Amino acid sequence: MIGDFFSATGSLLSIVFSASFIASAIAFSVVMLFGTVGELITERAGHLNLGVEGMMLLGASMGYFAAVRSSSLFLAILFACVGAGFGALLYAILTVTLRVNQNVAGLALSIFGAGLANSLGSKVSNTSTPDNIAKIFKLKPFSLSSPSGPFLTFINKAFLSHNIYVYVAVLVAVVATVFLFKTRAGLELRLTGENTAAADASGIKVTRIKYFYIILGGMLCGIGGLYLPLVQQGSWTSNMTAGQGWLVVALVIFVRWHPIKAIAGAYVFGSLTILGFSVQLNERLSSIPIFNQYIMSMFPYLLTVVVLIAFSFRKKAWPGPKEIGRPYFREER
């Protein structure tokens, strides 16, 4: 019995720490990393946007549509930004200017976004990513040509053999961290999300800031979404984000609104997502009920739930930007 437990644990560890597993977990976390950084920036401005799923799909469909029609990577990214940014703009108009409840506005956006994306996507559902673009993402710019020794081989396979999209995602998280904590614009953003009235009274243009970062956050979600059809899958499927947008909202809490932690957070969720598939290939594990692939597909959601509960135990911890959920009206009496 105990022996079984150890051998099962051993098999699991050997899967989780294999270079190929790490590599595919990283690849699977790209969408969520972009999304988490985007949603995090939005929340730092005091707005919880539940429409991430919709914005990701908008970005994915518009970007992929542009890619297929123009074979231009630049236009693909541009249109991913335009699509998701448009969704975020609608959300911003509703919540910033019209002071609609953020939860309902976000849900409306996710329904609208999915609808528009799936309608548009159906026009390109039978095509695949244009070769010239696919070629760009076949390149592994940091890969070592002849790694020496087992350690370098491992590092090379796990961390260095990725396409440029992956490294850009990490770079975005790093830049966002520096921006948030080391620049004056970042300070102004944080103050707006902590106390909008104080920011306003300090001469910060709060409406402009909120619009700007809500839209910027949306665009990042869109670029994240684009990764799915353009690189990961190479074709369009409707609702292809499959709930990752909702996980992102939870991830933001998981990483305590801190972009650098989002890298690790997205990785953890990414690896949980693929763990089910990987375990199926291992005969010893796949016979154990808990490693059933349908049970394992619950893990990311279970982890989210555990995280939510765990954070509600920590009464003293910073509960996130204070203005989340509160409409701001300057002439409030």
Partner 1 sequence: MFRISKKESFSKKEAISYRLIGFLIGIVLSGIIIAALGYPVIKTFISLAEGSFGSAIAIRNTISFLIPLSVTALGLSIAFKMRYWNIGGEGQILMGATAAMGVSMIMPASTPGPLMMIAMLLAGFVGGSVWALIPGFFRIHMKTNETLFTLMMNYLAICFVQYLYFELWKDPAKMGFPGIQDIPFKARIPYVSGVSLAIVAPLIIVILVFFLIKKTKLGYEIRVVGESEPTAHYAGMNVKKIMFVGVLLSGGIVGIAGAVKLMGSTGTLSSSLGGGAGFTAIVIAWLANLSAPMIIVVSFLIAALEQGAQFIQVRMGVPAAVADIVKGLILMSVLGSEFMLRYKVVVGAHGAKNKLDAIPSDKEEVHHVEPIVETKENAL
Partner 2 sequence: MEPNIRKDTQPAFSMRGITKIFGAVVANEAVDFEVLPGEIHALLGENGSGKSTLMNVLSGIYRPDEGQIEVNGEIKDFRSPGDAIDSGIGMIHQHFKLAEAMTATDNIVAGMKKPPKNSIKKDDVLRANILRYASRSPSKTHPKINEFSSRFGIEFDPSIPASQLSVSQKQSVEIIKVLLRGANILILDEPTAVLTPQEAKKLFTVLRKMASQGCAIVFISHKLNEIMTLCDRVTVLRKGKSIETCNVSDIDAYDLVEKMVGRKINLSINKPDPDPKKQVCLEVKGLTYSDSKAVPKLDNLSFTTHYGEILGVAGLAGGGQKELCESIAGIIRPQQGEIMVDEERITGLSPRDITQKGVAMCFIPEDRLGMGLVASMGIDENILLKEYALTKGPLIRMKDVETKAEKIIKELDIKTPGLKHPVRMLSGGNIQKVILGREIHLNPKLMIAAYAVRGLDIHSSYTIYNLLNEQKQKNVSVLYIGEDLDVLIDLCDRIMVLCQGKNMGIVDSSATTKEEIGQMMSGTTLEELRRGVSYV
List of residues contacting partner 1 (CB under 8 A): 48, 50, 54, 90, 93-94, 97-105, 107-120, 122-123, 238, 243, 246, 249-250, 253, 292, 294-295, 297-298, 301-302, 304-305, 308-309, 311-313, 319-320, 322, 324-327, 329, 331-333
DSSP, collapsed to helix, strand or coil, labels residue 332 as: coil
Q: Which of 130, 147, 186, 234 binds partner 2 (CB under 8 A)?
A: 186
The reply on whether position 203 binds partner 2 by CB under 8 A is: yes
Rg value, the chain, Cα: 21
Q: Note whether 323 and 46 are within 8 A (CB).
A: yes
Indicate whether 175 belongs to the interface with partner 2 (CB under 8 A). no
Separation between Cα atoms, residue 40 and residue 269, nearest integer Å: 16
**183 lies in the site for partner 2, by CB under 8 A:** yes
In the list partner 1, partner 2, none, the entry touching 99 (Cβ below 5 to 8 angstroms by class) is: partner 1
11, 18, 118, 195: residue in contact with partner 2 (rule CB under 8 A): 195
Amino acid at 67: A
Q: Least CB distance from residue 153 to partner 1, whole Å? A: 36
Of 119, 290, 318, 325, the residue at the interface with partner 2 (CB under 8 A) is: 318
CB contact set of 34 (below 8 Å; sequence gap of 6+): 169, 172, 220, 221, 223, 224, 225, 227
- Binding residue for partner 2, selected from 197, 260, 264, 274, defined by CB under 8 A: 197
Of the ranges 48-56, 79-87, 201-209, 242-250, which one interacts with partner 2 (CB under 8 A)?
A: 201-209
Phi/psi of residue 128, nearest 5 degrees: -120, 170
Residue 188 within binding range of partner 2, rule CB under 8 A: yes
Distance of closest approach, residue 182 Cβ to partner 2, in angstroms: 6
Q: Does residue 322 belong to the site contacting partner 2 (CB under 8 A)?
A: yes
When CB distances are held under 5 to 8 angstroms depending on the partner's kind, the choice from partner 2, partner 1, none that residue 98 binds is partner 1
**Beta carbons of 47 and 96 less than 8 angstroms apart:** yes
Strand partners, 235: 128
Q: Which does 118 bind (CB under 5 to 8 A by kind): partner 1, partner 2, none?
A: partner 1
**Contact (CB, 8 A) for 125 and 100:** no
Token code pair at residue 82:
């335009």
The b-or-e profile of 175-202 (16+ CB within 10 A means b, else e) is ebbeebeeeeebebbbbbbbbbeebbee
Eight-class DSSP state of 235: B
Which residue carries 């499927």 as its tokens? 237
Structure tokens at 24: 């595919």
| Selected range binding partner 2 among 11-19, 25-33, 87-95, 198-206, rule: CB under 8 A | 198-206
Q: Spell out the residues 6+ positions from residue 253 whose beta carbon is closer than 8 angstroms to its own.
A: 307, 308, 311, 320
Closer residue to partner 1, CB minimum distance, 67 or 169:
67
> Which residue bears the tokens 């074979």?
71
Question: Is 194 a residue that touches partner 2 (CB under 8 A)?
Answer: yes
Q: Is 200 in the site for partner 2 (CB under 8 A)?
A: yes
| Nearer CB in complex with partner 2: 134/187 | 187
Q: What DSSP designation does 328 have?
A: -
Shortest spacing between CB 132 and partner 2, in angstroms: 42
Instruction: Say if CB 30 and CB 169 are below 8 A apart.
Output: yes
Binding site for partner 2 (CB under 8 A): 181-184, 186-188, 190-191, 194-195, 197-205, 315-316, 318, 322, 330-331, 333
